[in-house]
Amino acid sequence: MQIFDAHHIGQQIAAGRKAKNMTQSALADQLGVSYQAVSNWERSQSLPDIDKYAQLAEVLGLKLDDLIGAEGARTVTIVGDDEATVDARTLAEAAPVMKPQQVEEEAARLSPNLTTLKEIAPFF
């Protein structure tokens, strides 16, 4: 599974938009989203829906790999075996894309004494 770097993507969107001398509103109109969505992407507050990346790269004149930062992207191996262990670093990298309950369950497996997100948060 690939973890997207919201900061990198936001920077690429902003730089590409400015290079095309476009407003956030103009970019939003071409993509069929609100200008607030574009603003949120550029500020790394959210990421575009997965179906928007190809269109976004095309509109901005970017390669898709450059937009998402595929060369430097981190990957996380999905462990299918419930008995397999996941190290704390891998869990920390995956936490932003995991549901809170999944983080709690994995953290509990790593250290049975840590059972709530509040107790786990300092490790991320």
Q: In the structure encoding, which two tokens stand for residue 43, read together?
A: 């500020």
Please, where in the chain does CATH 1.10.260.40 lie?
2-72
pTM of the model: 0.57
Interatomic CA distance for residues 59 and 104, integer angstroms: 40
Q: Which CATH superfamily is domain 2-72 in?
A: lambda repressor-like DNA-binding domains (1.10.260.40)
What is the full per-residue pLDDT of the chain (124 aa) written as tens digits?
Answer: 456 788 889 999 999 999 999 999 999 999 999 999 999 999 989 999 989 999 999 999 999 888 888 654 454 445 455 555 666 666 566 556 656 677 677 777 766 655 454 554 554 4
Residues 58, 30 contacting (CB under 8 angstroms): no
pLDDT of residue 110: 67
- 111 alpha carbon, distance to own chain's centre: 26
Q: Tell me, what's the pLDDT at 10?
A: 92
Q: How high is the pLDDT of residue 4?
A: 75
pLDDT at 1: 47
In eight-state DSSP terms, residue 3 is E
Give me the phi and psi of 43, to 5 degrees please. Answer: -90, 10
pLDDT on residue 76: 45
